[in-house]
Structure 1
Amino acid sequence: MIFDFLFPNRCLDCNQLIDKREIVCEICKDKIHFSHHRFSENNGLKEKASLLFPVENAFSLMLYEKESLAQKIIQQLKYNHREKIGKNIAEWTIEKLNFEDKKPDLIATVPLHPKKLKQRGYNQLHIFANELSKHFQIPISHSLLQRTKHSKAQAKKDQHERLKTKNAYQLTEKIRDKHLLLIDDVYTTGNTSSNIAWEIINNSDNVKVSLLVMAMDV
């Protein structure tokens, strides 16, 4: 109670006082560019990802534009120790996502290198993915993949550096006859998703890979 009084929760965009469970006010939420993707149909994310790897289905909640509210929200989640924002983004995703008859069998999250995980203190995808797993009743694994190379954050890399993450991920166990949903925060060049997807496809039997991200770069 005292903490809430001394440090009241404010909207990330307009700084207005809001409920402690929220991250933006209702007025500013309308400023977020939601993608309106349908998981079971072709969309902008699926078209982009299909150029790099065989993607079954794809969904992006938001459009990630420079200096947009979506960018601000995700940067707060990743770099400002606000891990719980993942729950808010998951709630928005649940409102808009319908798997229909394409529901995956397993969820896996993009891993952080142990060094980066220690520095940050958390993987920004875990709360988000756990909420989706619980709501849609899909098993989840945070250990199916591991990162074997350490590098600086994607947002701080130039385009050339982003293309050098090949073979940076490793599958920890072989999977068979599964439709796997890979979850990441932002789809930019597609390099991370592509490397992981090929690692899964090349080291598993009869596995389909779908992709879900909080936002896609436009």
Structure 2
Amino acid sequence: MFLVDLLFPNRCLQCNRIIHHDEVVCELCFNQIHFTHHHFLESNLLLEKCRLLFPLENALALMHFEDESVGQKIIHQLKYGSRKKIGAILANWTAEKLDFNSLGVDLLVTVPLHPKKQKERGYNQLHLFADHLSKQLKIPCDHTLIKRNFYKKAQAKKNREQRIFNENLFSITKQISNQHVLLVDDVFTTGNTMSAVAWQILKEGNNKVSVLVMAMD
């Protein structure tokens, strides 16, 4: 490992400084990350946005997702740059910076990729994140509860067509009841995807939903 570090040193994603092989950014650039600090707030913007779309208990985001920001670069490297270890790093930051003790969550559930998309990418970035977080929090994780039914996003222009598509975008694969589910995704933008998944869980027997994302736009 020492020889590999000498020949191919790990470098900060932001400033290109040489850093430890288990890190993703240097200390200076880490301080530039815009963390949300949602655990200090009774309410937050993500929670307010989600409640316009579906009923939920709580919503937490680790970072803000801003153009050309350090946080955006980190997530893009996880999703598209094959930097798989970033999933564990983000999970560590999440466990350290967000308080899950009061949520009373029973199960972590990831928003699924279509199998074809996962095959193209070679991995599911949410699995890397959620599996590590599951071990940290000692909460079970289920990657198969929700199935994505379509490979491509809807191209419909009419609102009604878009709504019908969203309602059928996901399906639930097994019965679930009396569970508080923490839905996990990478970036929250419009909330349409998260809402489509949440309603699949909520329409089952007496379930509750909370939301966790790596970053919110």
Task: Output the TM-score relative to the length of structure 2.
Answer: 0.91
Query: Structure 1 pair 22/113, CA: closer, same or farther in 2 (3 Å)?
Result: same
Tell me if structure 2 keeps the 8 A contact 1:40–1:100. Answer: no
**Equivalent residue number for residue 34 of structure 1:** 35
1:39, distance to aligned residue in structure 2 (A): 8.1
Contact kept, 8 Å, 2:13 with 2:74, in 1: the verdict is yes
Q: 1:34 to 1:116 in 2, by over 3 A?
A: same
Equivalent residue pairs, number: 211
Is 1:92–2:86 an aligned residue pair?
A: no
Shift of 1:146: 1.1
Amino acid in structure 2 at the alignment position of 1:150:
Y
Q: Does 1:125 find its partner at 2:96?
A: no
Could you tell me which runs of 5 or more consecutive residues in structure 2 were left unpaired when the two chains were aligned: none
Q: C-alpha separation between the residues in 2 aligned to 1:39 and 1:208?
A: 22
Q: Give, in angstroms, the shift of residue 88 of structure 1.
A: 0.6
Structure 1 gap segments, 5+ residues each:
none
The CA RMSD over aligned residues, in Å, is 2.1
In the TM superposition, residue 168 of structure 1 has moved relative to its aligned partner by 1.2
Q: Does 1:182 align with 2:183?
A: yes
| Aligned 8 A contact 1:39 1:59 in 2 | no
Partner Cα separation in structure 1 for residue 106 and residue 189 of structure 2: 26
Q: What SS does the corresponding residue of 1:99 show, helix, strand or coil?
A: coil
Deviation, 1:145, is 0.9
2:108 corresponds to which residue?
Answer: 107
Label 1:69 to 1:94 Cα distance change in 2 as closer, same or farther (>3 A). same
Whole-angstrom CA distance in 2 between matches of 1:6 and 1:149? 43
Change over 3 Å in CA distance of 1:94–1:73 after alignment to 2: same
Aligned runs of 1:37-56 on 2, under 5 Å? 37-38=38-39, 41-56=42-57
Pair 1:210-2:196 in alignment: no
How far apart, CA to CA, are the structure 2 residues paired with 1:118 and 1:39?
Answer: 39
After TM superposition, which residue ranges in structure 1, 4 or more long, deviate above 6 angstroms? none
1:138 aligns with 2:114: no
Instruction: Deviation per CA, 1:172-196: give whole Å up to 9, x if none.
Output: 1110001000000000000110000
TM-score normalised by the chain length of structure 1: 0.91
How much has 1:66 moved relative to structure 2? 1.1
8 A contact 2:37–2:98 mirrored in 1: no
Seq. identity, %: 55
> Do the aligned partners of 1:32 and 1:62 also contact (CA within 8 Å) in 2?
yes
Bigger proportion of residues as helix: 2
Whole-Å separation in 1 of the counterparts to 2:101 and 2:144: 27
Q: Report the Cα offset of residue 94 of structure 1.
A: 0.8
| Partner of residue 168, structure 1 | 169
